[in-house]
Amino acid sequence: MIVVSWNINSVRIRLQHLKRLVDEMNPDVVCLQETKVVAESFPHNIISDLGFPYQAVAGIKSYNGVAILSKYELLNTKVQNWCKKEDARHISSTINFPDMGKVEIHNLYVPAGGDLPDTRKNEKFAHKLSFLNELSKWQKTQSENSTKKILLGDLNIAPLESDVWSHKQLMNVVSHTEIEILALRDLQNAGPWIDAVRELIPKDEKLFSWWSYRSRDWEKNNRGRRLDHIWVTENLKNSIEKIQLLKEARNWEKPSDHVPVIATFKARK
DNA sequence: ATGGTCGCTTGGCGA
């Protein structure tokens, strides 16, 4: 079972990139964020032809948007709204994989939070924290059971020092502030969720999934952050076989500013 | 300290 999380920054403009990802990685499920298209205009047929006839989509005009693309049937698809906004940031489905059995997948696009890390002066930052808090609260109402679950997406927070190019220079920059990291940790504990990426890649190793467009030579400057995550429940931990952050995708022609995060799972007996 | 670049949509917002 291969699962991808990717903030594609417009699905329509990057269909060729999606095709390339599929050709090279052969994923079973691709979870997209920032599709930037309403459901009616989602390129269903083209994506179906790429091998994903099952698609769960939530979209609004211009902004946000999440989608789950699958080789296998999507069961019990749900779009959840937080902070009283219908802004297409959370979609979930259950998939019955041939090798892993049923897995519940939550695909999230957490608000970026604007520039100023101050809830009183910046509504977007307040929204980001409220979004995470509401999600955590809801998580805590979910009784723990034997269901295998994955939470993934653009969480717009880089929690570890090694998740940013400079901890010192970013500790007051939105995405790496203490209050955000605590809110993310609270959500993680609420699952409880295991960070699948850091389960396999040492916690002190620098690791990024996003590099700003506003850097001329992104690769040389390497001022990246790890904003995109794949989390799993304990019952999937021992099945994580491989983690890839597809850095080369940042050099594809007219790329997204985020690269795909890819998790390969293998069923254990 | 500021601006730098994208995508959607056509003036300006959001990232």
SS3 letters across A112-179: CCCCCCCCCCCHHHHHHHHHHHHHHHHHHHCCCCCCEEEEEEECCCCCCHHHECCHHHHCCCCCCCHH
Q: How many domains does chain A have?
A: 1
Place of tokens 């090279």: A24
Give the closest nucleotide to A109 (alpha carbon vs C1'): B15
What is the CATH classification number for the domain harbouring A133? Answer: 3.60.10.10
Q: Which residue is nearest to nucleotide B6 (CA to C1')?
A: A213
Q: What is the mean pLDDT of residues A41-47?
A: 98
Q: What is the pLDDT of residues A54-99, one digit of tens each?
A: 999 999 999 999 999 999 999 999 999 999 999 999 999 999 999 9
- Residues 51-70/A with CB within 7 Å of nucleic chain B are 61-63
Q: What is the pLDDT of residue A194?
A: 98
Q: How far is the CA of A32 from the C1' of B11 (A)?
A: 28
Q: What is the pLDDT of residue A216?
A: 86
- Residues 88-147/A with CB within 7 Å of nucleic chain B are 111-114, 124
Q: What is the pLDDT of residue A97?
A: 98
Half-sphere exposure (Cβ direction) of A114: Cα atoms closer than 13 Å: 14
Q: What is the pLDDT of residue A16?
A: 98
Q: What is the pLDDT of residue A161?
A: 98
φ, ψ of residue A39 to 5 degrees: the values are -55, -40
Is the pLDDT reported for residue A269 higher than 80?
no
Q: What is the pLDDT of residue A146?
A: 94
A257 SS3 class: coil
- Residues 144-163/A with CB within 7 Å of nucleic chain B are 156
Which tokens go with A52? 């994903």
Q: What is the pLDDT of residues A116-149, one digit of tens each?
A: 999 999 999 999 999 999 999 999 999 888 999 9
Mean pLDDT of chain A: 97
φ, ψ of residue A131 to 5 degrees: the values are -55, -50
User: Rounded to two decimals, what is the model's pTM?
Assistant: 0.98
Q: Cα(A135)–Cα(A185) distance, rounded to whole angstroms?
A: 12
Residue pair A91/A146 in contact (Cβ under 8 Å)? The answer is no
Q: What is the pLDDT of residues A191-247, one digit of tens each?
A: 999 999 999 999 999 999 999 999 989 999 999 999 999 999 999 999 999 999 999
- Residues 198-217/A with CB within 7 Å of nucleic chain B are 212-214, 216
Please give the residue range of the domain that contains residue A203. Answer: 2-265
Q: How far is the CA of A63 from the C1' of B12 (A)?
A: 14
Give the closest nucleotide to A36 (alpha carbon vs C1'): B8
Q: Cα(A156)–Cα(A175) distance, rounded to whole angstroms?
A: 6
Q: DSSP H helical segments within chain A, as ranges?
A: 15-25, 44-49, 123-141, 167-170, 178-190, 196-200, 218-221, 234-237
Q: Cα(A31)–Cα(A55) distance, rounded to whole angstroms?
A: 10
pLDDT bracket for residue A268 (50, 70, 90)? confident
pLDDT bracket for residue A263 (50, 70, 90)? very high
Q: What is the mean pLDDT of residues A166-178?
A: 97
